[in-house]
Chains A and B, each alone.
Chain A
Amino acid sequence: MNGSELLVELLLEQGVTRIFGYPGGAVLNIFDALYRYQDKLQCVLTAHEQGASHAADGYARLTGRTGVVLATSGPGATNLVTGIATAFMDSVPLVAITGNVGTSLIGRDSFQEVYIAGITMPVTKHNFVVRHVEELAGVVRAAFAIAQEGRKGPVLIDIPKDVSAMPCAYTPLPLATGTAKRPGSPRAVARVAEVLNAARQPVIYFGGGVQAAGAGDLLLALCQKADIPATHTLMAAGVLGCDEAHNLGLIGMHGNLTANKAVHEADVLLIAGARLSDRVALNPAKFAPNAKKIHVDVDAAEIDKNVRVDDSIVGDVQEIFAQLLPLTEEKRRPAWAERIAAWKSHDYSPKDDATRLRPHQIMRGISRLAGEDAIYVTDVGQHQLWAAQYARHLRPRHFLTSGGLGTMGFGYGAAIGAALAACGRPVVHITSDGSLHMNMNEACTAVRYNVPVITVIFNNAVLGMVRQWQTVFYGGRYACTDPQRKSDYVKLAEGFGMPGFRCANPAEFEAAFAQALANARGDGPRCCWIECLIDKDEKVLPMIPAGGSVEDMMMD
C-alpha cells in the first residue's frame, strides 16, 4: 500500500467513519485512496474548506468524538485556519489533515505551497509535518490521542504529496482505551469541600469544560445535595436543564441579572471548567468581589490566568465532582434562595407581540415546536445570544456555538456536521442575514446530503450586534452596519434546491417552522431556509458593557 492508503487505514483504526473535506492537487493520492475505501469511510464534500472545518467541528461537538477534516495545500490549508482556531478556542477535538507540495518542492514557493504548520502553530494543541512515510502511523495515532487528551483541541497533520504516495506497510495496533482521567488531589478536594460546607451564599459558575468532561449529572447532584445555585457560560448551555431549579441561566455580558447578581454577592464561587474570559469576568478586579474563589479545571494554566483565585483543583472535572460529592454536606439555604428569587422577580423579561416577530418569541416558538431533543447550532451575533437566552436548553452537547473565537459563518457547516452525526434528528441552524452571508455557500452541501438542517434567519437587515454597540457606545454612527443588501432568501433557498419561507409575524413563523419540521422527516428536501423579519433596533439585553460589572448592567 502507499501512504494514502495507510492514512485511511489509520483513520479507520481510530474509529473514524466520516470525514469532511475538499480535494486538490496535493491530496490527489489521498482522495484516490478514499475512492477505494468509500464503503468504509465517507468523505463529505463541502463547498469550501472553511465549511468542512466547521462541519468536522460540529460533528465533534455533538458526539464528543474527534472530528476530521481534509484539505489540500496552500489555499485549501489556509481556508481551514478559521475553523481550526474556532475549535481551538472552544477546546473541540479535531484532526485537520492537509496535503502539501512534495518534499523536494518545499521551501521553494512552489505552486499552492504554504507553511501551514507555522501558520497554525498558535491555534493548535500541536501540529506535525510528516516528512517520511515511516512516521505517518505514529503521527496519526499521536494526533488523535492529543486531540482528546486533557483539555481537548485541534491537531494538524501536514502530509507532502510524495509521502502520500510512498510505499509502506500497515501494522494494526489495538486502539488505546481512552486516556486515564486525572483525579484531583484528595487534599485539595477536602479543602474545597470544607469551604463549600461553610459557605452561606455559594454559587457554581461552570463552562464548556463540564460538558467536555461529561460531568453534568454530577454537577446537578452537587447543586441539589448542597443546595447551590449554578450559572453557565455560553459554552455550557444545556449541561443543566433550563427547568432545573438551581440553574440560574447564562452569566456574563448578556447573562441575566439574577446570575450576575448571585455571582457578585456570592461568598464562595466554585468555577468549574470555565476560563473567566472577558465576556464573563468583564472586569477581573470587580468579578465576584466578595467571594472566596475556587477554580476546578483540567488545564493548570487556566488557574490564575485571568482572575486570581483563592484555591484550585487541577484535574478532570468529572473525577473531581465525584470526589467532592461525598464530602459535601446536605444543606438547605432558604435565605440565599429567597434573595435569588427576589432578583429573579425583577429580571429582564421581553414583551410578546402578536403582530410582529420578536427574537425571544422566535426562539421560544422553535423550542416549543422542535421538542426536547432539539439540536441548536448558531452563528455569531445577536441571534446567537437570543438563542442562548431563550431556547429551552435541556441536553448537553445540543447547543453548538462558536463561543471563544466568535466566528460568523460557523453555523452552516457546523449544523451540517451535527446533522450527519445526529442520524436524522432535525438540527435548527439559527443564523442571521449577516452571518449567513459569510458562508451561505454550504447550502449546496445541505441539499446535496439532504440533511435535516432548518436554517432560521433572523433578518434585521443590519449587522445587529455591531450596530447595537454603535447605538450604545458610538452615538448611533452606523459605519458599515447597514449593508443594504437585496438578497431574496426565499429565491436563494429555492435556487440551491430547497424550500424557503418568509415570515413577518408569530403565526407565519409557526406555520413555516411546523412545515420545516415535517419536511425534515419527509422524503423531499429535508433542509430549508426560514427568513424571519425582525426590527433592526432589537437589542440583546441585558447587557454589561465591556470592563463593567453587574452594577453597570443595562436593562433597556
Chain B
Amino acid sequence: MPRKVISVLVDNHAGVLARISSLFGRRGFNIDSLSVSATDEPSLSRITIVASGAGEELNQIVKQSAKLLETRAVFEVEPAQGVLRELLLVKVAADDQNRAALREISLIYKAKIIDLSPGSMIFELTGTPSKIDAFLGMLGGYDILEMCRTGVTALQRGARGYVLKERMLP
C-alpha cells in the first residue's frame, strides 16, 4: 500500500490533537505514525502524519484534515523533496558475552549508547524510518526489552512550501 507523509499546520489550541484524532478515528484512516511539535511560529503546531492506504483514502486524509477550522495548511511531503527523520530509543538485554557485538552494530549505524546498566543497554538512533527499520532488523536476534519510536517528523527542502490559510478562529 502506498505511504504518504502529510504535514498539517494547526492553530496551537488546546484540544487540536483530540480533534485530529477524532477525525481519523471517525473516518477509519490508517495512521502509521503521528507526531506533534512546536514550530518557529508560537501560535502554530505542526502535525506530521504518516499514513498508508489506497490513493483515494490518502487524498481524503488531506481533504478532511484541511476542513478542520484549526488547520492552516495541509501538504504532502514528497520523500524526494523532503527530509524525514525519526528518533528511536531501544533497550536491549546485554551481558558480557554480547555487549561488544551490540556495540559493533551501533557503531555501524551511528547509534548512540545512552545508558549502560549491568543487564541492559539503551541505544538512541536518529534517521529515516528505513534506517531505523534496518537497525531494528539487526537487533532482531537480541532480546529487546523495550523500545519506542517518535514517529516521523519532516520538512520540505528549499523555500517555505506552503501558504497559511486565513485564521477562522478567535
Contact = CB atoms under 8 A, between A and B. Distances in A.
Interface of A: 117-118, 121-122, 125-126, 129, 135, 138-139, 141-142, 145-146, 149, 299-301, 303-305, 308
A122 B22 contact: yes
B58 to A, nearest CB: 11
Interface in B144-170: 168-170
A64 to B, nearest CB: 21
A146 B168 contact: yes
B22 A121 contact: yes
Nearest to B22: A121
B18 A121 contact: yes
Interface residues of B, number: 19
A117 B168 CA distance: 18
A301 B64 contact: yes
A118 to B, nearest CB: 7
A117 B69 contact: no
A141 B170 contact: yes
B19 interface: yes
B67 A301 contact: yes
B63 interface: yes
Contacts of B68: 126
A145 to B, nearest CB: 8
A308 B57 CA distance: 12
Given A300-B63, A304-B56, A304-B59, A146 B26 contact: no
B56 A125 contact: no
- Chain B interface mostly helix, strand, loop or mixed? helix
A142 B15 contact: no
Lowest 9 A-B CB distances belong to which pairs?
A138-B170, A301-B63, A121-B22, A122-B26, A126-B69, A142-B170, A122-B22, A301-B64, A300-B63
A126 B56 contact: no
A122 B18 CA distance: 10
Given A300-B63, A301-B64, A301-B67, A122 B170 contact: no
Contacts of A139: 170
A517 B69 CA distance: 46
A299 B60 CA distance: 12
Given A121-B19, A146-B69, A305-B63, 7 more contacts: A117-B15, A139-B170, A141-B170, A145-B168, A300-B63, A301-B67, A308-B56
A301 to B, nearest CB: 4
Contacts of A129: 15
B65 to A, nearest CB: 9
Contacts of A300: 63, 66
A121 B63 CA distance: 17
A146 B56 CA distance: 27
Contacts of B18: 118, 121
B23 interface: yes
22 contacts: A118-B18, A118-B22, A122-B22, A122-B25, A122-B26, A125-B69, A126-B68, A126-B169, A135-B170, A141-B170, A142-B169, A142-B170, A145-B168, A146-B69, A146-B168, A299-B67, A301-B60, A301-B64, A304-B56, A304-B60, A305-B56, A305-B63
Contacts of B170: 135, 138-139, 141-142
A138 B13 CA distance: 15
Contacts of B15: 117, 129
B105 to A, nearest CB: 45
Contacts of A304: 56, 59-60
Nearest to B64: A301
Nearest to B65: A301
A304 B63 CA distance: 11
Contacts of A145: 168
B54 to A, nearest CB: 11
Nearest to B23: A122
B25 to A, nearest CB: 8
B17 to A, nearest CB: 11
Interface in B8-36: 15, 18-19, 22-23, 25-26
A301 B74 CA distance: 13
Contacts of A126: 68-69, 169
